[in-house]
Structure 1
Amino acid sequence: MANHLIKTTAIGLIAASAFVGGAQAGGWNRGEADTDILFEDGDIVARGGYTFVMPKRGYDTIEGVAATDDDFSQNYSIPSFAAKVKVSDRFACAFTYTQPFGADADYGAEAQLASLLNGGAGASHKDFITNEYASTCAVNMDAGMGKAYLLGGVFLQDFKYTANGRAGDLRLEDDAAYGYRIGAAYTIPEYAMRFQLMYRSKIDHDADDGSFDWNPAVAPLGLQDAFGAGTLPQSIKLSVQSGVAPGWLVYGSVKWTDWSVLDSLNYSIGNPFAPGGYLPQEDVYNWKDGWTVQAGVGHSFNEKISGTVNLTWDKGVDSGADIYTDTWTLGAGVLAKVGPGELRAGAGVSYLTSGSQSVANDATFDATADGDWAYAVTASYKVSF
């Protein structure tokens, strides 16, 4: 009975807490499409979830002086939805929604002044969000003791960016950019064993639907056109899991994200007095590639309840233009059979290591950050037919 429990609950058990670590991963990573639903039993399976993250990142010093600004990182949420349709024993498709990338920051008076004094925009707020709508299908065939899968699909991703500074308010939007994911997997259901490799393509966003609303105190130009361009990265993820004893499961993953593709966000804002009528601007990042490594263990306590705990390390991607340092996350989760479906819930606590940024490395001002903490909770519910 214990072997049966760990086999039937393995996928959902891992996801109960694994998602918490990914939600606080480096760079601007947030949600991942729930393609794991393709491996779950049922002709029609649907799952909806919600994750809430509370990062507590703030500056310790600004321009060499102890800072008193509040934390600049803001709380955020990640919705997720997935529905699987089994067409035949050999073919199934999943339709998913999530928000794969995002950021949200409010800068205090000290940070704004430091930026202005160094020739920056003196931003008081910056945020951006992406939405991904995807379809991913899987075809399988018998192979040895298990099954081999080929997976692939396409997704649509939008992009919305806003920034508020002393000169005015910037808005950039790209309603639709397209990408794809492709992968392979091998499963031996008898042992709850699965190996999966998944690639997600990069996305080039051309935000040609934008505006800049000038601050009348700076320039009485009103609302002007704005446009910009930037690239969000490709990634490759290897995931493994296996039952190791009756009722016990071990799992892990390694993910590479091509954050070095993001040198900067380039944009231009309208100004009739500038050459060509536009002022070229640039937000510099100069990020390095990111690595995310996770390892965990799960256990089925009885027919209705399973639990898991995992540890995630995420390599910092900054090179001194901003502060995105290494992150360590301890996550825990539970899966319970409630009503007609399964409820999974998880929580995590992250330690953000200390770091610094400097004008010499293309930052808008010098600053340091001590080690900080972040927290996250997640819950989802699945029904199968």
Structure 2
Amino acid sequence: MANHLMKTTALGLIAACAFVGGAQAGGLERGGYNIDLLFDPGQYTFESGVTYVAPQRKLENVQDTDASDGPLNALGYEGSTDETESYFVPRVGFKAQLVDGLDCMVDYSQPWGAHTKPGSTWAGANHNIETKVNSDNYGLTCSYKFDAGPGQVRIIGGGFYQQVDGFKDRLVVAPEVLPAFGLTGTGLGRLDLEGDGWGWRIGAAYEIPEYAFRASLVYNSEVKLDDITGTLDLTGVPSGLPGGGGLFGNVTDVYGATAMPDSIELKVQSGIAPDWLAFGSVKWTDWSQLQSIPFCPVSTRGVVACATGSPAGVDVTSLDLIYRDGWTISGGIGHKVNEQWSVAGSVTWDRGTSQGFGSQTDTWTFGTGVSYAPNQNVELRLAGAISLLTSGESGVVTANGETYGDDVSYDFGTDIAAAVSTSLKVRF
């Protein structure tokens, strides 16, 4: 019973439920890191899957609190808007047992991402029209296991390469006020960015196959994006408008630096009765290192440090996130119905990363999944989830001696996100 349970419910449905549960996590998390394929008992195993997430976050009672770029409420801009966009999260992996006790896995995933699109007609357009972040992660992870007591110890290590890119559009000045200066234009500004870096992971696990027991602890390092490059496009803002500092009407090459967060995750699973298994996990992610990310003209590189609060004309724009650390706690039950079918359910709590600035509050996710294995070599999985996005508000906050959120305020109620995940695993 236990060995078959490990091959189906444990490695199939836990992964499926975890994926749909974590796809609506805080910060910039999308697929996160997942190395469960490394534990598959097959000698050679291929896995591919995709998760679709449809969040529904509505911002209400929107007030433009910075009239210097145009009083958007008075100009008729909308006081409510839908902020979020639906997205897909793909994943592909291949695991091989190289020699007895030594397993290695290569995989492609998209651990980070974000897409908000409140649009250009809401009263917070001076804060955000559309923001999108993409990532591509290519990893190699290996483990070596050996006997210890009634089970086996597994030592885990590996590395990964990440590419991150994105953009942000916002209203720099309302086009309705430009005629007062004898000017015309869209008033729009756009920031485009890209960067890359390397990371590593280390961990350990203890397994007792007889009881379908496994406990693992894995640390994933931060990924330093030391050379983010891009452009600040202000061609939509007339160069004759006062206060541009030479930026209005031009495209300026910019640069900056940050790091994607490190994380540590504990996972535990165990058979609790014939054909029944319980599982759970706790993960910490260092989102608090992403506060305000300044960007400066390439022409100033090596002359003046690019940092928030730099002398005028150096720090020309920034991405303000002001996150706090993320915590994700999940638990669930799996059941093998017969030799082909298994089912599972899970509950996940994710602590919101916003601190009074932004709309990422606590999330509760309820997931369920089904696994169909027509034989020992093929497994199909389907999982779904509903997330409750708790209510809150966004406004002025002070962090690291700087003020943020003084351009717009809004609130939001309890909203819902839906997710569905499907995957195929083939052993040969």
TM superposition score normalised by structure 2: 0.83
User: Structure 1 counterpart of 2:207, which letter?
Assistant: T
By how many angstroms is 1:43 displaced?
1.4
- C-alpha distance in structure 2 between counterparts of 1:379 and 1:12, whole Å: 11
Structure 2: gaps spanning 5 or more residues: 65-72, 172-187, 240-247, 301-310, 399-403
Structure 1 partner of 2:179: none
1:131 counterpart SS class = strand
Which position in structure 1 is the counterpart of 2:69?
none
Distance in 2, Cα, partners of 1:5 & 1:90: 20
* 1:142 equivalent among 142, 147, 150: 147
Does residue 243 (structure 1) correspond to residue 271 (structure 2)? The answer is yes
Question: Following superposition of structure 1 onto structure 2, how do residues 1-385 of structure 1 map, counting pairs within 5 Å?
Answer: 2-9=1-8, 10-63=10-63, 68-109=79-120, 111=122, 113-114=123-124, 116=126, 122-166=127-171, 167-174=188-195, 176-219=196-239, 221-269=249-297, 278-338=314-374, 341-361=378-398, 362-363=404-405, 364-385=407-428
Residues 249 and 297 in structure 1, CA contact (< 8 A), matched pair in contact too:
yes
Change in 2 beyond 3 A, CA 1:268/1:41? same
Q: Which amino acid aligns with 2:256?
A: G
Select between 260-269 and 319-328 the one with higher mean Cα deviation. 260-269
Cα deviation for residue 216 of structure 1 reads: 4.0
SS across alignment from 1:162: strand
Task: For residues 249-270 of structure 1, give each alpha carbon's deviation from its aligned partner in whole angstroms, at most 9, with x where no partner exists.
Answer: 0000000111111112221257
SS of alignment partner, residue 16 of structure 2: helix
Distance 2:191 2:421 in 1: 32
Q: Which moved more, 1:259-268 or 1:338-347?
A: 338-347
Against the structure 1 CA distance between its residues 34 and 217, is the aligned structure 2 distance closer, same or farther, given a 3 Å change threshold? closer
Identical positions, percent: 38
Amino acid at match of 1:280: V
2:307 is matched with none
Distance 2:349 2:36 in 1: 22
8 Å Cα contact 2:365-2:388 kept in structure 1: yes
Residues 308 and 216 of structure 1, relative CA distance in 2, 3 Å threshold: closer
Q: Per the alignment, do residues 321 and 245 of structure 1 end up closer, same or farther by CA in structure 2, a change over 3 Å counting? A: same
SS state at 2:58 partner: coil
Asked whether the equivalents of residues 182 and 198 of structure 1 are also in contact (C-alpha less than 8 Å), the reply is yes
Q: 1:269 to 1:187 in 2, by over 3 A?
A: same
Q: Rate the CA distance shift 1:184–1:127 in 2: closer, same or farther, 3 A.
A: same
In structure 2, the partner of 1:119 is none
Question: What is the Cα deviation at residue 221 of structure 1?
Answer: 3.8
The Cα offsets for residues 100-127 of structure 1, whole Å up to 9 and x where unpaired, read as 111101123454x4453xxxxx431111
Structure 1 regions of 5+ residues with no counterpart? 117-121
Contact 1:62 1:110 in 2 (8 A): no
Q: Calculate the aligned-residue CA RMSD, in Å.
A: 2.3
The Cα offsets for residues 346-368 of structure 1, whole Å up to 9 and x where unpaired, read as 00000000011112442131111
In 1, Cα distance between equivalents of 2:99 and 2:298: 55
Deviations 1:88-111 (A, max 9, x none): 111110001111111101123454
CA distance in 1, matches of 2:396, 2:238: 25
- Secondary structure of the residue that 1:60 maps to in structure 2? strand
Q: CA deviation at 1:41?
A: 1.6
| Equivalent pair of 1:262/1:287 in contact (CA under 8 Å) | yes
Q: Deviations over 1:46-101 (max 9, x none)?
A: 10000010011120221299965431111111110110011111111000111111
Give the Cα–Cα distance (whole angstroms) in 2 for the partners of residues 146 and 337 of structure 1: 26
Matched residue type, 1:249: L
Tell me which structure has the larger Cα radius of gyration: 2
Mark the CA change 1:359 to 1:323 in structure 2 (over 3 Å): closer, same or farther.
Answer: same
* Amino acid aligned to 2:148: A
Distance 1:216 1:14, change over 3 A: closer
SS across alignment from 1:26: coil
Q: How many residues align?
A: 376
SS for the counterpart of 1:12 is helix
TM-score (structure 1 length as normaliser): 0.92
Q: Is the 8 A contact 1:48 1:381 kept in 2?
A: yes
Code of the residue aligned with 1:80 in structure 2: it is R
Alpha-carbon contact 1:230-1:266 (below 8 Å) kept? no
After superposition, the Cα gap between the structure-2 partners of 1:191 and 1:348, relative to the gap in structure 1 and judged at 3 Å, is same
Give the Å deviation of 1:338.
4.3
Q: Which amino acid aligns with 1:194?
A: R
